[in-house]
Chains A and B, each alone.
Chain A
Amino acid sequence: MKALLLCWISILLLFGACEIQKPSLPVWDIDLAIPLVNDSYYISELVDSVNIVIGDDDLLFLTGTGDVDTPEIGEVEFNPAIDESDIPLPSGINQSFELPFLDSQNNAQLFYGLVDTGSLSYCLNNILPETQEITISIADITDNQGQPLTLNYNGVDGWQTINLAGYHFGEQNSTTQLSALEVSFHATSTLPNGSILGTLDVRMNEAMSFSLFQGELNHMQLGINSSSASIDIDYPNGIDEAITLHDARLQIDVINHMGFTSEFSGFFEARRGTEVRRIPIVDEDGNNYVIAQSQNGNPGFSTLIFDNNISTLMQIMPEHIEIVDAAFTINTESGYGTLHKSDRIYMHYTVDAPFRFWLHDHTVSVEEAVKINISEDNREYISDNMLEAGLELEVMNKIPLGGWVRGYFGISPNIDPADTTTYSFRKELQLHSSQVSDTWQTLPPLTLTRSDLDLFTNPEIYLKWEFSFEESQSLVEITATSADFIAIRSMLKGKLRIDQ
């Protein structure tokens, strides 16, 4: 019985001897799998209808537009060269005669004109004292009320000059050339009819100009504002080294406010460094384009399209394109027309470069590293809790572009991929083009080790991207149908330390 009692006491003491530790939780590691992305990125989403558009056959186009114009054409100059002397003035007889009115430069045939600058001079010589009145009228020169230009004798001798600004020569919209001015005069005196009362001298031998001109022009040229006709192309990150464009198309819509057809001449000049290529702006037959004229107050529209020729320029991946030696010329081929001094020509140009190119095995490095700020909380979390991180990636590439993507991580913005001392580590992945594989590609997981993660304990880190393309074996065309996309699905996997 004593043994039984001893046993009982021993059991109670055994329990009493048990040590129960103070509650405290250890730290442990867990694996988290978090969906990162599951999306399809369609080429058509690049279309903004402004710079990137979908063209024929769903081909994607890079497009750029701009406007070019000419200066105002200004006044049309005319040199009449009239110098008539000793025209007798008989008393009591109405007489008339014609003054030849031709451009001494033989450049313009005036049908109608509104004078901007110009003058007419006349002189009444040896007028007898018996003269009562002398009235000289030029019917082809009228004022705004349609009254012909009239010269009256007022007893003053010597040359008189009439400012013709604002006067009209001929009838507006006349279909015949104004080649002579009809002058009539009437003189009265106390002398018998037929008595010569004196003589008249008339001169219009200085250049005059018309702000509104109707007629024919043998030659008149209008240049363009060349500074607005150039395009500078800044290829990002040397992408031009990796791509050769196959073709391009330039369309110029010309809006002509002049009432004359004109011939457009000029050259496209492309420059890349010291290499210069120049092509004439001509039609398929090698002729200059003829620009339609304005009619009935409505401007003339012409569309000039360059496609085959422009590719010659684009294949050098030009850094600068300019329209040079360009002019609109009015000539005898233009025929009859109307010019206002404010008339000009506008050009709206559109450059379309289809996404059709050759790809070269060339590395494109983004010039500036991306700065990434890491908050103090996240730095602490990464330092204390994150042990590993990784990305599991699957990609379905339906577009004919493939290559390598590399990311260089460092604490300095001066990352040089060629110098391993300028960055901490790099990660890369290869994506095959649809020509190689158009099903799901399982990419090797991108992992960040603990030592890699230490970089993210800095308040600022830098990431520099580098891309290199697979050399294309044939011409690459990027279309924008519903079957042109890149699908990505990815899980973010991390090993975390649970300690709080």
Chain B
Amino acid sequence: MKKTLICTLLLVFALSLTAISTAKSLFFADSYMLRAFGVEANYWNPARLTEHHHIDLWLPVANSGIQINNNALDLDTYNFFVTQDTLSTEGKERILRNMDGKLSAEASANISVFGITMGNTALSGATHVQGKGQISEKLIRLAFYGNTEDEYHFTKANSNASVISYVDLTYGAGGFKIPFIPENYPQIVTGLSASLLAGIKNLETKEVDLRFSSTVESGANLDSEVLIRSGIGGVGYKAMLGMYSEITPWLEAGITLDNLFGAINWNIANEITRYTATADSIYITDIEDDLFESSDTTENADPYSTKLGTELRLAAMYKHPIVTVSADWVQGFSETTVSSKVGRLSLGAGFLPLPFLPLSLGISLPNSSHPVKVSYGIGVKSLGNEFSIAVQSFDSLIPGYKSKGIALAIATRVWF
């Protein structure tokens, strides 16, 4: 049972990777739409491709970020758990107390491959790995306390996992002013990027229906079915439409629609694996009979698509020579591996205390499915390049033992 629990937890964390658009966005807790320019504008708002009047370069791996987080366990609790010889009831409750019905975890990674701007266009590529998973709190209680209840029912709603990995090749063009706007009105600049997506691996939970009961009247009964669909190799696409406007010299606003028409079609090697286990009215006195039947079958599956849900992002930024403050609201229209229907507000601030020393701060306010995220970044900047690092804490203002997740990012920019 202990091995099972370990495997399940590892599976959750291993398969739970969520979206990071670019590594630099981690510096501001995703409040980054009006801060991105150059190559990064391909992913945040292609209208801003011409904002930086240089040729901008991305180097392989030089812009990378990784994050991992969960909803219940902070580092202190983790350390407590792994250093205990024997887990007491108090210890179990300490682990379970913040689960709120489930232990969910997310993680993602984003690794730059290349990128370059040419005039008002840009071409870039990056690798994305993202996913998420959940385990019902009741399942963990079952592992911790045994079957203290008569019946258990687990469904996909609180026990699932999904992962997707792909490489994008994105071409963007921006800096197009919308015509016929009077000169004395703020101009609106638009841009468009299109991505060709090469799917690497996809795995998703199609069905979870696990019922277990153990009563003296009906014996032990088990009826479970889990369907896992996986695909290797796929082709997809998505597009982003962005606009922004400098309303005043110190205030900008922007809007984007991301993942337009976004989907990856998995059509090379697809499989559906069905795990079933059944037991009917089992009593120990029936020990000579087969107690339960289990099977796992894998079949080739038809091609299928993974939708990349469309997201609407609204942003505004106040600019000052040494301080910038921004706010981003992102709203998805569907629940997919990369999007959520629950809106999220992020706030970011950038400081330049010294001409060569950029600092960043970001906070993503919590919602029903995500904890608060707080980012801190620092960099070194010169005339033609900039190198920065950042750390992000989940559910804790200060990265430390109370953090329920961590994200790390490095960003390197070269321009000339």
Residues of chain A whose beta carbon lies under 8 Å from any beta carbon of chain B: 1-2, 4-5, 8-9, 11-12, 14-15, 18-28, 30-39, 392, 394, 489-492, 496, 498-500
Known contacts: A23-B82, A496-B146. The answer to whether A37 contacts B283 by CB under 8 A is yes
| B-chain residues with CB within 8 Å of residue A489 when the two chains form the complex | 216-217
Known contacts: A5-B357, A500-B3. The answer to whether A28 contacts B83 by CB under 8 A is no
Evaluate contact between B143 and A30: CB separation under 8 angstroms. Answer: yes
Other-chain residue from A28, A492, A499 in contact with B284 (beta carbon distance below 8 A): A492
Known contacts: A24-B83, A26-B87. The answer to whether A18 contacts B399 by CB under 8 A is yes
* Interchain Cβ contacts under 8 Å between A and B, 25 examples: A2-B353, A5-B354, A8-B378, A12-B391, A12-B399, A15-B391, A19-B79, A20-B78, A20-B79, A21-B83, A26-B83, A28-B86, A30-B1, A32-B147, A33-B214, A35-B214, A35-B219, A37-B283, A38-B218, A39-B283, A489-B216, A489-B217, A490-B216, A496-B146, A498-B2
Known contacts: A8-B359, A38-B283. The answer to whether A31 contacts B82 by CB under 8 A is no
- Taking the closest CB of chain B, its distance from the CB of A8, in whole angstroms, is 5
| A-chain residues with CB within 8 Å of residue B264 when the two chains form the complex | none
Q: Is B184 an interface residue (CB 8 A)?
A: no
Evaluate contact between A27 and B87: CB separation under 8 angstroms. Answer: yes
- Taking the closest CB of chain A, its distance from the CB of B147, in whole angstroms, is 5
Q: Digit string of B199-242 for contact with A (CB within 8 Å is 1, else 0)? A: 00000000000000011111110000000000000000000000
Evaluate contact between A38 and B217: CB separation under 8 angstroms. Answer: yes
Evaluate contact between B146 and A24: CB separation under 8 angstroms. Answer: no
Which of A34, A489, A496 has the most chain B CB atoms closer than 10 A to its own CB?
A34
Q: Is B285 an interface residue (CB 8 A)?
A: yes
Q: Is B181 an interface residue (CB 8 A)?
A: no
| B-chain residues with CB within 8 Å of residue A39 when the two chains form the complex | 283, 285
Interface residues on B, range: 35 or more
| A-chain residues with CB within 8 Å of residue B283 when the two chains form the complex | 35-39
Evaluate contact between B83 and A11: CB separation under 8 angstroms. Answer: no
Which secondary structure dominates where chain B touches chain A?
A: mixed
Cα–Cα distance between A36 and B282 once the two chains are bound (Å)? 8
Evaluate contact between A35 and B2: CB separation under 8 angstroms. Answer: no
Q: Is B289 an interface residue (CB 8 A)?
A: no
Cα–Cα distance between A347 and B86 once the two chains are bound (Å)? 76
Cα–Cα distance between A4 and B350 once the two chains are bound (Å)? 12
- Taking the closest CB of chain B, its distance from the CB of A101, in whole angstroms, is 79
Cα–Cα distance between A31 and B145 once the two chains are bound (Å)? 6
| A-chain residues with CB within 8 Å of residue B297 when the two chains form the complex | none
Can you name 10 extra interface pairs (CB under 8 A) apart from A12-B391, A33-B147, A34-B214? A14-B398, A14-B399, A15-B406, A20-B75, A20-B78, A23-B82, A25-B5, A30-B143, A34-B220, A38-B218
Cα–Cα distance between A498 and B401 once the two chains are bound (Å)? 27
Q: Is B85 an interface residue (CB 8 A)?
A: yes
Cα–Cα distance between A392 and B284 once the two chains are bound (Å)? 14
Cα–Cα distance between A4 and B145 once the two chains are bound (Å)? 48
| B-chain residues with CB within 8 Å of residue A492 when the two chains form the complex | 284
Cα–Cα distance between A18 and B359 once the two chains are bound (Å)? 22
Evaluate contact between A26 and B285: CB separation under 8 angstroms. Answer: no
- Taking the closest CB of chain B, its distance from the CB of A462, in whole angstroms, is 22
Q: Digit string of B363-378 for contact with A (CB within 8 Å is 1, else 0)? A: 0000000000000101
- Taking the closest CB of chain A, its distance from the CB of B171, in whole angstroms, is 36
- Taking the closest CB of chain A, its distance from the CB of B343, in whole angstroms, is 28
- Taking the closest CB of chain A, its distance from the CB of B330, in whole angstroms, is 26
Task: Name B390's closest neighbour in chain A (CB-CB).
Answer: A12
Evaluate contact between A12 and B376: CB separation under 8 angstroms. Answer: yes
| A-chain residues with CB within 8 Å of residue B401 when the two chains form the complex | 18
Q: Is B148 an interface residue (CB 8 A)?
A: yes
